[in-house]
């Protein structure tokens, strides 16, 4: 047989967060805890299909008028409109002025990718491969890959996490924005920053917006946790809406994976806010071209679930309640973990655990301490020290707190 | 002023634009012979009975909604490989393949195109048959490859220009990529006969071309899944390690659920693992992991003996209805007094028919 054209294909390293879960699965230790991948878990440590989702799936299953025909390229119209409304608010001036557009996408990742592909082609002229893209340090590790694969050649980081004070490095962030070339693209986490859980305050957002406006920087929001972070949709969308009210044109990549628990249905939406209808229409026409060569048209099931829920006042209220259940449990785990660490007298300060928001916490554990946690205590977390609060339960809180205490005191 | 001031209005999609025009038309006699979705004899979309049963089965299991692996649902990818390659296939049994779940046919094609752009350094050119599905060109172009063509359809006879195809293919530079429609060529409906496929395979092998099959109609073309996959299987048996894109949009009526698969036949299982690892790296920044619903329905059907049997009957039913429409169209044209030869309508196969009508007649 002739030599293969793939002989030279090297073995790629596994995606870290999924490898972590794979290792966790293979671990036979009964004390094991998975604080890795970002999916919600109940207090029994189980995945949770939202009750409203179960109800709506039944409604869909019983609806004989529904079939499996192709959705339009840009997605299910009722989904698109409702999804963008959730992000921008019922009374959004942009919606009233008919200058928003939506692209149903395969999860938040898909929305980011379509947005990135569009920006590379059309943002500021016709070829933006050299336009700088700024991603927070640290950020979700896939952000970098999305923009690289979309063709951007100049990807930079902006200061974000201050490890010493375990909080936002606002001055560093603002400096980076002042120094960034005009028209640079900035990826902003709308709320519940992944992985640090540290968000700017409204005042800090105002300062960020002022610099971005003055320097013509483009805001590309990643909103994966709306509702899930604080329990309030409005609060979690405050930054996006503020930017809109300041007259920005922007993109917002939305995910319904966490707040609807629809992880594997790949439900996402790219919201586009423009100056006027005409601009948005032209943008959408080009988005269609990009979608057509990527996935042609998006999957139907998840979008139907979300659209049905958001369009019905009763189902919407039920969903809101389910979201609050998740957010509240996370908040409880935060306060419980913090209080245990403080009771144990674990060296360091632990208020960041309750000050941070969303699914994740940047514990401050260093790689050696993380390795100790995994190898000796069978507690799986990312090398960055990021833990998924959802992996904590009333049953494992004590064990995790004691293990962190050990790691911090034994390993430096 | 806006960031988007220089964004041009994109032209409407040539295929989907026809349906939009149809929707706008108020004439009571209107018919849509445009977009490629099956319709029953009442002109209505058809949800397969085996699909409904699979959905009920799935609902009763009350499964969670956790993320799928990047490569998709294992039961689905394995069943897809077996469906395409055949359970007795040496390539399948030896595990010297990798199959990943893709977003129906388009997504699967795109994964493959991106993979070739990144790893197939020997060639940048993709040869498409003339004509081909309209979306092939932009897919490969957006992936960063270059498009060329080989003769395929003969408009004078409304059939295959076999000698033209063989001539052109014999001259394709070594290590180029050639795309072949496994069955039910879109848009012409013109497929090579088995003897012709054999010659194509020999030529392609001699020219050392990388073969990429697009199989969007397995079962839907002739009504027989093995017959429709014959070309793919023959090429692999001849030692040609092909790439393959599969779609379940038509043959299971799962259009909007986006169920598809991308396969690479490799030298051995170890190579397949390496290729798989790189496909994951490609997929993660596109959409992270694929949607479950369609894949789970397809897997349930393929892996549940009763449902699989029922599916084979239903897909044959769809194919048979199409074949009977072809036959009746030809006989009705004769009845109308047409003396033109309409044999190509019944010679052609699959959903589409290249009528031979000119643009003005259209």
Q: Please write the tens of the pLDDT for every residue from B210-229.
A: 999 999 999 999 999 999 99
- Which helix (H) or strand (E) segment holds residue A174: the answer is helix A170-179
| Mean pLDDT of all residues in B36-51 | 93
Taking CA–CA distances from A148, the nearest residue in chain B reads B285
| Mean pLDDT of all residues in A35-54 | 93
Residue closest to B343 by CA, chosen among B330, B334, B353, B354: B330
Task: Find chain B residues with C-beta within 8 A of A263's C-beta.
Answer: 65-67
Q: What is the pLDDT of residue A3?
A: 60
* Domain around A198: 77-311
Instruction: Indicate if A278 belongs to the active site.
Output: no
Residue A105 lies in a domain: yes
Task: Find chain B residues with C-beta within 8 A of A281's C-beta.
Answer: 9
Same domain flag for A32 and A87: no
**Total structural domains within chain A:** 2
CA A364 to each of CA A321, A375, A390, B208: distance values in angstroms, whole numbers, following the listed order = 32, 18, 18, 55
Residues B165 and B172 sit within 8 Å (Cβ to Cβ): no
Same domain flag for A172 and A233: yes
Q: Tell me which of B67, B264, B268, B289 to substitute to probe the interface with A (most A C-beta atoms closer than 10 Å).
A: B67
> Domains in chain B, ordered, with CATH?
74-306 (3.40.640.10)
Task: Find chain B residues with C-beta within 8 A of A51's C-beta.
Answer: none
The beta-carbon neighbor of B239 closest among A1, A12, A288 is A1
The beta-carbon neighbor of A289 closest among B5, B10, B288 is B10
Q: Tell me which of B1, B2, B6, B7 to substitute to probe the interface with A (most A C-beta atoms closer than 10 Å).
A: B7
Q: Angle CA(A112)–CA(A118)–CA(A121) in degrees, nearest 5? A: 140
Separation in Å, CA of B93 to nearest CA in chain A: 18
B88-107, pLDDT tens digit by residue?
999 999 999 999 999 999 99
Distance CA B174, CA A214 (A): 55
CB–CB contact B284 A145 (8 Å): yes
Residue A8 lies in a domain: no
Same domain flag for A253 and A114: yes
Torsions phi, psi for B148 (to 5 deg):
-130, 175
Whether A1 has a pLDDT exceeding 50, the answer reads no
Q: What is the pLDDT of residue B268?
A: 93
**CATH number for A287:** 3.40.640.10
Q: What is the pLDDT of residue B345?
A: 93
Q: What is the pLDDT of residue B309?
A: 98
Task: Find chain B residues with C-beta within 8 A of A262's C-beta.
Answer: 65
Average model confidence (pLDDT) for chain A? 95
Using the 3D structure, point to which of A263, A281, A311 is the last residue of a domain: A311
HEC string for chain B: CCCCCCCCCCCCCCCHHHHHHHHHCCCCCCCCCCCCCCCCCCCCCCCCHHHHHHHHHHHHHCCCCCCCCCCCCHHHHHHHHHHHHCCCCHHHHHCCEEEEEEEHHHHHHHHHHHHHHHHCCCCCEEEEEECCCCCHHHHHHHCCCEEEEEECEECCCCEECHHHHHHHHHCCCCCCEEEEECCCCCCCCCCCCHHHHHHHHHHHHHCCCEEEEEECCCCCCCCCHHHHCHHHHHHHHCCCCCEEEEECCCCCCCHHHCEEEEEEECCCHHHHHHHHHHHHHHHHHHHCCCCHHHHHHHHHHHHCHHHHHHHHHHHHHHHHHHHHHHHHHHHHHHHCCCCCCCHHHHHCCCCCCCCCCCCCCC
Taking CA–CA distances from B119, the nearest residue in chain A reads A9
* Token pair 């959705």 in the structure block, residue: A71
A330-344, pLDDT tens digit by residue?
999 999 999 999 999
Taking CA–CA distances from B210, the nearest residue in chain A reads A5
Residue A317 lies in a domain: no
Q: Tell me which of A44, A141, A283, A293 to substitute to probe the interface with B (most B C-beta atoms closer than 10 Å).
A: A293
CB–CB contact B107 A296 (8 Å): yes
Residues A382 and A370 sit within 8 Å (Cβ to Cβ): yes
Residues B194 and B230 sit within 8 Å (Cβ to Cβ): yes
Whether A2 has a pLDDT exceeding 60, the answer reads no
CB–CB contact A301 B293 (8 Å): yes
Torsions phi, psi for B140 (to 5 deg):
-70, -35
CB–CB contact A73 B16 (8 Å): yes
Lowest mean pLDDT among A215-224, A283-292, B10-19: B10-19
Average model confidence (pLDDT) for chain B? 95
CA A260 to each of CA A39, A49, A266, A330, B88: distance values in angstroms, whole numbers, following the listed order = 11, 8, 11, 15, 43
- Which helix (H) or strand (E) segment holds residue A241: the answer is helix A238-245
Instruction: Indicate if B133 belongs to the active site.
Output: yes
The beta-carbon neighbor of B2 closest among A14, A46, A249 is A249
| Mean pLDDT of all residues in B230-258 | 97
Taking CA–CA distances from A64, the nearest residue in chain B reads B47
Distance CA A200, CA A179 (A): 20
Distance CA B50, CA B251 (A): 12
Residue A275 lies in a domain: yes
Using the 3D structure, point to which of A251, A280, A311 is the last residue of a domain: A311
Q: Tell me which of A6, A59, A273, A303 to substitute to probe the interface with B (most B C-beta atoms closer than 10 Å).
A: A6
A231-277, pLDDT tens digit by residue?
999 999 999 999 999 999 999 999 999 999 999 999 999 999 999 99
- Three-state SS for A70? coil
Q: What is the pLDDT of residue B51?
A: 98
- Marked catalytic residue, from B228, B250, B311, B342: B250
Token digits for B348? 């052609």
Residue A58 lies in a domain: no
| Mean pLDDT of all residues in A34-38 | 86
**For the whole model, what pTM was predicted?**
0.95
The beta-carbon neighbor of A113 closest among B119, B267, B285 is B285
Whether A217 has a pLDDT exceeding 90, the answer reads yes
Residue A234 lies in a domain: yes
Q: Would the CA dihedral through A188, A194, A196, A200 be positive or negative?
A: positive
CB–CB contact B110 A47 (8 Å): no
Distance CA B278, CA A356 (A): 35
CB–CB contact A263 B65 (8 Å): yes
Q: Give percent above pLDDT 90 in chain A.
A: 90
φ/ψ bin of A158: left (φ > 0), alpha (ψ from -120 to 50), beta (otherwise) = beta
CA B341 to each of CA A4, A48, A102, B328, B344: distance values in angstroms, whole numbers, following the listed order = 47, 62, 49, 14, 8
Same domain flag for A189 and A113: yes
Instruction: Indicate if A395 belongs to the active site.
Output: no
Residues B237 and B301 sit within 8 Å (Cβ to Cβ): no
Quickly state the pLDDT bin for B122 (edges 50, 70, 90): confident
Quickly state the pLDDT bin for A322 (edges 50, 70, 90): very high
The beta-carbon neighbor of A68 closest among B105, B135, B254 is B254
**CATH number for A335:** 3.90.1150.10
Task: Find chain B residues with C-beta within 8 A of A322's C-beta.
Answer: none
CB–CB contact A106 B287 (8 Å): yes
Same domain flag for A296 and A332: no
Task: Find chain B residues with C-beta within 8 A of A61's C-beta.
Answer: 55-56, 59
Distance CA B52, CA B326 (A): 29
Residue A323 lies in a domain: no
Residue A373 lies in a domain: yes
B263-289, pLDDT tens digit by residue?
999 999 999 999 999 999 999 999 999
Same domain flag for A161 and A246: yes
Token digits for A170? 């606002």
Same domain flag for A176 and A213: yes
| Mean pLDDT of all residues in B53-82 | 96
């Amino acid at each position: 047989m002739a030599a293969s054209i793939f002989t030279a294909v090297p073995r790629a390293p596994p995606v870290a967060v999924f490898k972590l879960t794979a290792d966790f699965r293979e671990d036979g230790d009964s004390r094991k805890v998975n604080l890795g991948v970002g999916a919600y878990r109940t207090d029994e440590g189980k995945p949770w299909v939202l009750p409203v989702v179960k109800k709506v799936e039944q409604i869909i299953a019983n609806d004989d008028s529904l079939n499996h025909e192709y959705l339009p390229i840009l997605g299910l119209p009722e989904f698109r409109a409702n999804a963008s409304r959730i992000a921008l608010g019922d009374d959004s001036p942009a919606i009233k002025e008919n200058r928003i557009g939506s692209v149903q996408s395969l999860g938040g990742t898909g929305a980011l990718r379509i947005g990135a592909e569009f920006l590379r082609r059309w943002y500021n002229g016709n070829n933006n491969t050299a336009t700088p893209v700024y991603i927070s340090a640290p950020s979700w590790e896939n952000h970098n890959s999305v923009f690289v694969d979309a063709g951007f050649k100049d990807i930079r980081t902006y200061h974000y996490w201050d490890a010493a004070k375990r909080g936002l490095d606002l001055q560093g962030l603002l400096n980076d924005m002042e120094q960034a070339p005009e028209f640079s693209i900035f990826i902003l986490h709308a709320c519940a920053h992944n992985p640090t859980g540290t968000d700017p305050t409204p005042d800090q957002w105002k300062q960020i917006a002022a610099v971005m406006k003055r320097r013509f920087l483009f805001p590309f929001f990643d909103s994966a946790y709306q509702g899930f972070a604080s329990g309030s949709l409005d609060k979690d969308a405050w930054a996006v809406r503020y930017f809109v009210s300041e007259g920005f044109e922007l993109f917002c990549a939305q995910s319904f994976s966490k707040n609807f628990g629809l992880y594997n249905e790949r439900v996402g939406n790219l919201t586009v806010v423009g100056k006027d209808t005409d601009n948005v229409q032209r943008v959408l026409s080009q988005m269609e071209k990009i979608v057509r060569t990527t996935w042609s048209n998006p999957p139907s099931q998840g979008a139907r679930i979300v659209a049905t829920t958001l369009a019905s006042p009763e189902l919407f209220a039920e969903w809101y309640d389910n979201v609050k259940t998740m957010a509240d449990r996370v908040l409880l785990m935060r306060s419980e973990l913090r209080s245990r660490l403080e009771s144990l007298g674990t060296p360091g300060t632990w208020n960041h655990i309750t000050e941070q928001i969303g699914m994740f916490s940047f514990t401050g554990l260093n790689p050696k301490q993380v390795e100790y946690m995994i190898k000796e205590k069978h507690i799986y977390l990312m090398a960055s020290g990021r833990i998924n609060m959802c992996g904590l339960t009333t049953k494992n809180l004590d064990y995790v707190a004691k293990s962190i205490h050990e790691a911090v005191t034994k390993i430096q | 002023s806006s960031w988007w001031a220089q964004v041009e209005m994109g032209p409407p999609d040539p295929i989907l634009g026809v349906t939009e025009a149809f929707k706008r038309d108020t004439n009571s006699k209107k018919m849509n012979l445009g977009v490629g979705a099956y319709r029953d004899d009442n002109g209505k979309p058809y949800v397969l009975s085996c699909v409904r049963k699979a959905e009920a089965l799935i609902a009763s299991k009350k499964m969670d909604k956790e993320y799928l692996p990047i490569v998709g649902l294992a039961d689905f990818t394995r069943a897809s490989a077996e469906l395409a390659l055949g359970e007795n296939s040496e390539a399948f049994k030896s595990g010297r393949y990798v199959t990943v779940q893709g977003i129906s046919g388009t997504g699967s094609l795109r994964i493959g195109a991106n993979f070739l752009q990144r790893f197939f350094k020997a060639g940048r050119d993709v040869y498409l048959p003339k004509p081909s599905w309209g979306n092939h060109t932009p897919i490969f172009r957006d992936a960063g490859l270059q498009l060329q063509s080989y003769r395929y359809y003969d408009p004078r006879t409304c059939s295959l220009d076999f000698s033209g195809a063989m001539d052109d293919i014999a001259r394709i530079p070594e290590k180029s990529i050639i795309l072949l429609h496994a069955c039910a060529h879109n848009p012409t409906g013109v497929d090579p006969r088995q003897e012709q496929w054999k010659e194509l395979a020999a030529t392609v092998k001699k020219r050392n071309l990388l073969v990429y099959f697009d199989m969007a109609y397995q079962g839907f073309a002739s009504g027989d899944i093995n017959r429709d996959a014959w070309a793919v299987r023959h090429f692999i048996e001849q030692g040609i390690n092909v790439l393959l894109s599969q779609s379940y949009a038509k043959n299971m009526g799962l259009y909007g659920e986006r169920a598809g698969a991308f396969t690479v036949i490799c030298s051995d299982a170890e190579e397949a693992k390496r290729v798989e690892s790189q496909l994951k790296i490609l997929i993660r920044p596109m959409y992270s992991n694929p949607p479950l619903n369609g894949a789970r329905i397809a897997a349930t059907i393929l892996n549940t003996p009763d449902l699989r049997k029922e599916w084979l009957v239903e897909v044959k039913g769809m194919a048979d209805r199409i074949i009977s429409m072809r036959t009746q169209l030809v006989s009705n044209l004769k009845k109308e007094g047409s003396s033109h030869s309409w044999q190509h309508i019944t010679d052609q196969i699959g959903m589409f028919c290249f009528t031979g009508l000119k643009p003005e007649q259209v």
